[in-house]
Amino acid sequence: MAMSSASSSRAPLAARARKMPPPSSSRCLVLTVASVVVSLLSGSGHVAAGGHPDYADALGKAILFFQGQRSGQLPPDQAVTWRSNSGLSDGSAANVDLTGGYYDGGDNVKFGFPMAFTTTMLSWSVLEHGGKMKARVHDARAAVRWGADYLLKAATQTPGTLYVGVGDPDADHRCWERPEDMDTPRSVYAVSASAPGSDVAGETVAALAAASMVFRAADRAYSRRLLAAARGVMELAVRSQGKYSDSIGGDIGAYYQSYSGYKDELLWGSAWLLWATKNSSYLGYLYSLGDNDGVDMFSWDNKLAGARVLLSRRALVNGDKTLEPFRQQAEDFFCRILPGSPSSTTRYTAGGLMHKSGNANLQYVASASFLLATYAKYMAVSKHTFSCQSLPVTAKSLRALAKKQVDYILGANPQGMSYMVGFGARWPQRIHHRASSLPSVASHPAHIGCQEGYQSYFYSGAANPNVHTGAVVGGPDENDAFPDDRGDYARSEPTTYTNAPLVGCLAYLAGAYRAS
């Protein structure tokens, strides 16, 4: 669980990192052609003729990563074959079905808060950049659906209740075992009117509403169910306000506590409902939540920058002047991260990487890059420009920064290291990920115990036996150094909420810089 947000990042053996204060301000993956699967799993990844990375290849790998994070009953066409069924009794502790969904990082807990953000960002990637994904758009939709199916269950099985987690995180972090071997408690956590959780509920609203639009044309009945569930969860989020980490107990909130509070999630969920429903009644509510807080990062915790960019879509592309304040706030965010901006509050490493946190920094890089690419699209469509005081900003300016950050992730850095597993000539071999670092059930059918996993595999200096293709790790430190150490969870753990925004950004770049 590599958590880190405008908030924090998670720990391997215990929950220490999660408790840190903020650093600053088709249900199956459809791989229809055998050669495509071979290419994705082969570890290829090259420079295209134009001198930039092969973004289309990286896109396919970034989407494939989500198969390795699946919980539940795996489908017959599962391409990541070192994973097997897991968590098949999830929810039974509360007499509900909570099977499925994603493990957020290298552990075996299902945290609803980051899973919902992952689903929202995968959905936004498809909605905004699906046209550039070509055949991979089907795979991206399948990744959305795997998360949305779970969130729909979590939101609809018990009236007035939203299930927000499965598994005992402290017990889980004391073990190093495959998801298929889990024998730690699968505790169930929920928010309700008597145990408020507007942060996790607001994010779940965003995920369900965004996913409903992804499937509006392909599966109208499913889309309607998702949207109805989103509305229901929004009522819960607004009616009973509070942070879920104050309500649910079990220390699960300490791993993904919303340090930014919950109003940003209410704004985020409302913005997505506005887009999904076109119901102008949400506008008044948006203004009641709006504030002028300046932010320089976007994450599973702090949604302000994302909500403002999303609302700017309507201001720029649709000409809705009532949303101009959100456009101005979105542009303030970009002025805080652009190099050379007089109002920048963002550090860059000597190698050119945006550096926001010592814990899982690439999640912030990926999320910011998504917003850069997406706002660049809006600016290009509307022929809009703006200035950061004396610095003029164009769509090209934003796209160039997004490209530089993604190129760094894919290998254009002082280490010559691709931080996406399986892409390029050199990539992390010892990622902090239980299923990747332990032999598969197919190759080692016998149960591997909680402590045996540590003794035999975690402390081993050997490369992980299972290549988790497409996994983007936490990344290098502020000096561009990367130890490739399984025990260094802050740098070596991959997460779904790093890959999800990167999917959209890679699609945008694949369209802008086609391999020739």
**Residue type, position 60, single letter:** G
**Residue type, position 21, single letter:** P
- Residue 47, pLDDT score: 62
DSSP 431-478: -S-HHHHS--TTT--S---HHHHIIIIIT--SPPSS--TT-B-S---T
Rounded Cα distance between 500 and 473, Å, is 13
Q: Does the residue 338 lie in any domain?
A: no
- Residue 48, pLDDT score: 57
Rounded Cα distance between 372 and 395, Å, is 9
34 Cβ contact partners less than 8 Å away, ≥ 6 residues apart: none
Rounded Cα distance between 92 and 503, Å, is 33
Joined together, the tokens standing for residue 129 give: 């950049």
Nearest 10 degrees: Cα torsion 464, 20, 114, 156 = 130
Q: Does the residue 233 lie in any domain?
A: yes
Joined together, the tokens standing for residue 80 give: 């990541």
Joined together, the tokens standing for residue 195 give: 């145990």
CATH of the domain at 495: 1.50.10.10
Q: Does the residue 351 lie in any domain?
A: no
Domain count, the chain: 1
Q: What angle (nearest 5°) sits at the alpha carbon of residue 226, between those of residues 225 and 228?
A: 65
- Domain with 494, as residue range(s), is 26-291+416-512
- Residue 50, pLDDT score: 67
Alpha-helical segments (H) within 105-197: 112-129, 136-156, 169-173
- Residue 15, pLDDT score: 33
Joined together, the tokens standing for residue 451 give: 């402590």
Q: Does the residue 386 lie in any domain?
A: no
Q: Would the CA dihedral through 76, 58, 1, 138 be positive or negative? A: negative
Q: How many residues does the chain have?
A: 516
Q: Does the residue 246 lie in any domain?
A: yes
- Residue 45, pLDDT score: 53
Q: What is the mean pLDDT of each run of 10 residues along the chain (516 residues)?
A: 41 36 37 39 55 95 98 97 98 98 98 98 98 96 98 97 97 96 96 97 98 97 98 96 92 90 96 95 82 90 97 93 94 97 98 96 98 98 97 98 98 97 97 98 96 95 97 98 97 98 98 73
- What residues are labeled active site? 484, 493
The 10 Å CB-count burial string (b at 16+, else e) for 154-169 is: bbbbeeebbbbbbbbb
Q: Does the residue 44 lie in any domain?
A: yes
Rounded Cα distance between 429 and 412, Å, is 18
- Residue 251, pLDDT score: 81
The predicted-structure confidence for 416-439, as pLDDT tens digits, reads as follows 999 999 999 999 999 999 999 999
Q: Does the residue 297 lie in any domain?
A: no
Q: Does the residue 359 lie in any domain?
A: no
Evaluate whether 50 touches 516 at the Cβ level (below 8 Å): yes
